[in-house]
Amino acid sequence: MTFTKDSEQEFAGLSLVLKPAAGSTRSVPLIEWLPAFKSPLVWVPAAPRSGVLKAIAVLQQPEFYAELMQAVCWQISKHKTVEWQGKICEVTGVEVDASSLHILQIPLGATEELPHTLGRAIHAQFFHWMGTGNAELTEELHQQDNFPGALVLKPGKSPQQKYLKFGLLRPELLAPLLWGLSQDIGADIALTGIACRLGEAVEVVEASSYEILAESPAQRSIELEFLSPTSFKQLQSCQPFPLPELVFGSLLRRWNAFAPAALQFPAVEWTGVTAAYELKTRALKMKAGAEIGTTGWARYEFADAEQAKIAAVLARFAAFCGVGRKVGMGMGQVKLR
């Protein structure tokens, strides 16, 4: 199976919305709730939001999501009460995920302080989970020059607590990643030989689409925060200062690599200026040595109306894709302030 950026996929996934119930003699475990389905199916706990419980249905063959939706709706009409995570719950609805862009994260607790040289380890772990879910797609990703997302290990409340964060730029990446993650949720994995326990639920931090981002209104002043060391290739060397042409040029190339053809932008000779900044250089240790990058914030201003429109779209895209070099190894994490 070959995936291209112009291929259409109706569903990236779907979730059951659950509400704790008083109890029912007819409740069954969620894994037994659906009749035997034609594609292997697992249920992944979603981190609760505002007290709402969700169970994410993950298929190893995502092309069957439309049929799964029909089976779920039929089952809800017949049997609404299930057992899920030790609770009796009523199935109150089903949500379809048709987004093409996702940011996920899951807590990670280590038995000792984790080193700062984890870029390659989290990159390898991502591809291990992807390979578990879809080996053919994972091999295709290995052969691509553009990494289709961004990976980072976010700090937590202690040196032992972290969050694994994944930005995904194609809808077909969601199911295999969640499938692979489902095999290790609540269990131990090893990062650079250190035992780390994954959390019990996955948080969907944000989901969107290229079409939605493309409707972003023009913004002449844009402030970005660089959360992890960020650098760029410039004249065969590494440039740590986030010049506007480097930042938005990097984002434009990634947008055009993954967005549908109808939404791609023409080449831009960026004329924006850096109006204000508070930045510092920081070393991110890698296995082969240290990478120098910039953290902090910068404000960019665009006098040209067309560039202000394109820059506004790309600034919102940045949270999903990262910016600059080695975004698949923890560098270039950015957010719109």
For 311-337, how does the pLDDT look when each residue is reduced to its tens digit (9 = 90+)? 999 999 999 999 999 999 999 999 998
- How far out from the chain centre does Cα 329 lie? 14
Report the pLDDT value the prediction gives residue 86, as an integer from 0 to 100. Answer: 87
**pLDDT tens-digit profile of 119-148?**
889 999 999 999 999 999 999 998 888 899
d(CA 30, CA 241) in angstroms, rounded, equals: 51
d(CA 305, CA 167) in angstroms, rounded, equals: 29
From residue 323, alpha-carbon distances to 246, 252, 311 in Å are: 9, 10, 13
Instruction: Give me the mean pLDDT over the 38-42 stretch.
Output: 90
Helix (H) / strand (E) containing 50: none
* Least confident stretch, 14-23, 66-75, 266-275, 281-290: 281-290
d(CA 21, CA 40) in angstroms, rounded, equals: 28
CA atoms within 13 A on the CB side of 124: 10
* Strand, coil or helix: 199: coil
d(CA 160, CA 31) in angstroms, rounded, equals: 33
Structural contact between residues 149 and 164, judged by C-beta atoms closer than 8 angstroms: no
Instruction: Give me the mean pLDDT over the 196-221 stretch.
Output: 96
DSSP H helices in the chain = 65-78, 119-133, 135-142, 174-182, 210-214, 244-258, 305-321
Structural contact between residues 287 and 330, judged by C-beta atoms closer than 8 angstroms: no
Q: What is the pTM of this model?
A: 0.92
Report the pLDDT value the prediction gives residue 1, as an integer from 0 to 100. Answer: 28
